[in-house]
Structure formats: structure tokens, C-alpha cells
Structure 1
Amino acid sequence: MDTPRAPGNYPDREVDCQMALEPAFQAVIDEAVGTGWERSEVLIALYEIGLAIASAEEENGHVSNILRKAFKSPPRLGG
């Protein structure tokens, strides 16, 4: 798999990432279709998996921020 052309953010980094991932992505699609899944099913499933992973990571980041703030705050005494 190709690496980013430069460290950090740069123009077209997202496009470079897509191009780097495409061969492996296509191989997964081809393998799934070869086992009997319809191409459209595979594409929808991969899309939904991507959304689920992104959502989970976003939620994990949100929970991490809450926990980080909670542990930075002094404990509350009393009610």
C-alpha cells in the first residue's frame, strides 16, 4: 500500500488515501462477489461498515473527552 506523499495535512491527501486503499478495497469486493454476494450488496455493506466504524470512533472520542474532563475536575463533595 502506498504511503502518504508527505507527513501531516496536504492538498489531495484524502484522494491519495483513497487511491492507496482502492486495490485492497477492490480485492475485498471481488472476493465477496466470488463467494456469491451481489456486487451491490457488497458495496452497501462496505459503506455501512465504514459509517459504523466512523460513528463508533466519533462516540469513543466523545466519551474520552467526557472522561478526560471528569478526571481533571476535582471530586465533588456532598450533593
Structure 2
Amino acid sequence: MIRKPRQITPYADRDLDCQAALEDAFQQMVRLAITSGWDKIEAITALQELAFAHLSTEDDNMRITLAILQAGLTKH
């Protein structure tokens, strides 16, 4: 089970708390990959690349949303 944040609103070290909360699940995914025949570095690298790809997608989505909002504001 993944721990919840200490509070809903932002706080100092929230990012570190999230990392700590996800650590066990991360290690479990690495172990599963190793059990399936991947080596540890391949598994960790793949997880890193997946994370970067998801961040890029989120960034793209945010840019598109902002562009749409700006276009809507300039029409009025």
C-alpha cells in the first residue's frame, strides 16, 4: 500500500515523501523485471524512460491547454 501525503496542500519535502511512498513499489517492479529476465540496469533505465515520457506528455498537455485558453481569451 502506498502512503498518502501528510496533507492535501503543498508542504516542504512533499516530493521526498512521495519518493519514499513509492520506493517499495519501485523496488517490486525492478524485482519483477529481473525475475522476467531483464537485468537491474535495464529495468531501472526503462522505468526512468517511462517516467520521462509521462512527464513529457503532461508537459505537452499543459502547453496545449494553455494555448487553447489563451486563444479563447483573445477572441473576447
Instruction: State TM-score, norm by structure 2.
Output: 0.91
Structure 2 residue 35 is the aligned partner of structure 1 residue 34: yes
Q: Secondary structure at the match of 2:28?
A: helix
Identical aligned pairs, as a percentage?
A: 35
SS state of the match for residue 5, structure 2? Answer: coil
What per-residue deviation string (whole Å, max 9, x for no partner) do you get for residues 15-46 of structure 1?
A: 11001111111111100100000100011111
Unaligned ranges ≥5, structure 2: none
| Structure 1 moving runs of 4+ over 4 Å | none
What code does the residue aligned with 1:9 have?
Answer: P
- SS of 1:6 mapped into structure 2: coil
Whose helix proportion is higher, 1 or 2? 2
How far apart, CA to CA, are the structure 1 residues paired with 2:28 and 2:73?
46
Aligned residues: 75
1:61 maps to amino acid:
M
In our comparison, the structure showing a higher alpha carbon Rg is 1
Match of 2:46 in 1: 45
2:70 is the counterpart of 1:73: no
* Mapped partners of 1:22, 1:44: distance in 2: 15
Residue 14 of structure 2 is aligned to residue 2 of structure 1: no
TM-score by length of 1: 0.87
What's the Cα RMSD here? 1.2
5+ long unaligned stretches in structure 1: none
Residue in structure 1 matched with residue 65 of structure 2 by the alignment: 64
